[in-house]
Copies of this chain bind each other. A is one copy, B any other.
Amino acid sequence: MSLVKKCTMQKPPSFVLDGQGPLFKQIGRAVTEQILKGRYKQGERLPSEAELTTIFDTSRQTVNKAISELAKHGLVERNRRAGTVVSWQFQERFILPLRDVSDELEQNNQIYEYRIIERKVITNGKGGITWGALPAGANLLYLETIHLADGLPVQLETRYINFDAFPEVEHETFAERSPSKWLLENIPWSEVDHTVRATNASAELANKLGVKVGAACLVVDRQTFHRGKPITFVHLIYPGDRFSIKGKFSLANGEE
């Protein structure tokens, strides 16, 4: 029996606190730093919370808060007994924020307007329109809205609202607030479902958006629910050359 198991030559601590901001963030950065430097490789185990507690001379809570945050961002994985190891892949979590058009445009100092093109109550399943989340025969408020930036169309919104569940929309003209804003301010929601894809503009769409027939457009489909109850389904179409979704992510600062 050997006395030591290969004497893994205790690595230099080398964690450096920068003195900026809260301790738990400093610790998070220090550890992230060492991982990025390759000091801890993928699959490799980090010091336990107990060890980090002594390394940084702090309480376990603080260490836990720091490392749990890294785990939330997917940089490390934590397991009881097995300890904390560096993730093998953390590319799965690239993240894109999706914002309301009007907010997006305001930030760019563009002038935002919208116009309701059409408004009617329709029956789910008829006229070729079916919203799978609701049974056929349900009443839907149909709204078609065009959103403009500096007078140029940037988004065509086709919306269906669960009319039976929210009959109060009948008396809303959406003159003051766009349907999107009105819903957000008046109807609570708890779940959202998104799909983003690309499509070619049909003749009708091209006309409404002021682009050429066949032009590539970005399409965002969004379904909103509250406790499983469907609220609204919205189909957003953007001219491909006038709109894009942008997102940044930085490991050092946390999210976004």
Interface, chain A (partner B; CB < 8 A): 32, 35-38, 42, 61, 88-89, 91-100, 103, 180, 184-185, 188-200, 214-219, 222, 226-227, 238, 240-241, 243-252
Contact = CB atoms under 8 A, between A and B. Distances in A.
B248 A91 contact: no
A92 B97 contact: yes
7 contacts: A91-B184, A94-B97, A191-B249, A196-B218, A197-B240, A199-B241, A200-B214
A153 to B, nearest CB: 15
Per assembly, the copies of the chain total 2
Contacts of A218: 196-198, 218
Contact of A97 (B93, B191, B198, B219): B93
B192 A249 contact: yes
Contacts of A219: 198
B244 A197 contact: yes
Nearest to A222: B94
A99 B89 CA distance: 11
A196 B249 contact: no
A216 B240 contact: yes
Nearest to A248: B193
Contacts of A252: 190-191
Contacts of A35: 188
B96 A92 contact: no
Contacts of A250: 190-192
A180 B38 CA distance: 18
Nearest to A94: B98
A143 to B, nearest CB: 17
Contacts of A197: 218, 240-241, 243-245
Nearest to A226: B36
